[in-house]
């Protein structure tokens, strides 16, 4: 795997890896099984499924904070009753992106995050199903 793919994999992990820890006394959220797939040019690469604990009322993207603290989400908005959009900026590798997720009822959502960097463009397709409740949501 070349260095560029390694950098993108680390960046993708930063977006989707997050604590789904269940701790007593914390707020109750939704536990999502998220399946990401990275696309860069003609190449497609499945990423490992992740569990994400998010607040039931979204005020930020339903993702945890991963090992790369340079990625920052901003401009989160519910643009329709069931669609969320936001911007993301990462420093390693330097890139910017836009995300969009559409909820399909209370138990599923689909979306994309589209990144642009000096190395080119990358899209992460997302699909998620609700697998239960969790404590300590990331939002």
Determine phi and psi for 113, rounding to 5 degrees.
Answer: -125, 125
- Give the chain's domains with CATH numbers: 3-135 (2.40.160)
DSSP one-letter code for 70: T
Q: Which residue has the higher pLDDT, 118 or 27?
A: 118
Average pLDDT over residues 42-68: 81
In eight-state DSSP terms, residue 136 is S
Per-residue pLDDT at 68 exceeds 70: no
Residue 114 neighbours by CB under 8 Å, 6+ apart: 97, 98, 99, 121, 122, 123, 124
In this prediction, residues 112-120 reach a mean pLDDT of 92
Phi, psi of 26 (to 5 degrees): -100, 165
Supply the Cα-derived Rg of the chain in whole angstroms.
14
Q: Is 61 helix (H, G, I), strand (E, B) or coil?
A: coil
Give the residue from 2, 44, 37, 40 showing the smallest Cα distance to 117.
40
pLDDT band at 139 (very low <50, low <70, confident <90, very high): low
Q: What's the mean per-residue pLDDT of the chain?
A: 81
> How sure is the predictor about 13, in pLDDT bands with cuts at 50, 70 and 90?
very low
């Amino acid at each position: 795997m070349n260095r560029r793919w390694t950098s993108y994999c680390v960046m993708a992990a930063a977006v989707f890896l997050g604590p789904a820890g269940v701790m007593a006394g914390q707020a109750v959220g939704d536990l999502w099984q998220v399946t990401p797939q990275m696309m860069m040019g003609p190449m497609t690469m499945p990423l490992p499924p992740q569990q994400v604990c998010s607040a039931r009322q979204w005020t930020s993207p339903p993702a945890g904070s991963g090992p790369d603290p340079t990625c920052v989400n901003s401009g989160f908005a519910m643009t329709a009753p069931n669609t969320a959009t936001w911007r993301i900026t990462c420093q390693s590798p330097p890139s910017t992106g836009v995300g969009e997720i559409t909820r399909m009822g209370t138990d599923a959502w689909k979306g994309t995050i589209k990144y642009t960097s000096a190395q080119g463009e990358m899209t992460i397709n997302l699909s998620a199903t609700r697998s239960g409740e969790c404590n300590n949501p990331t939002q």
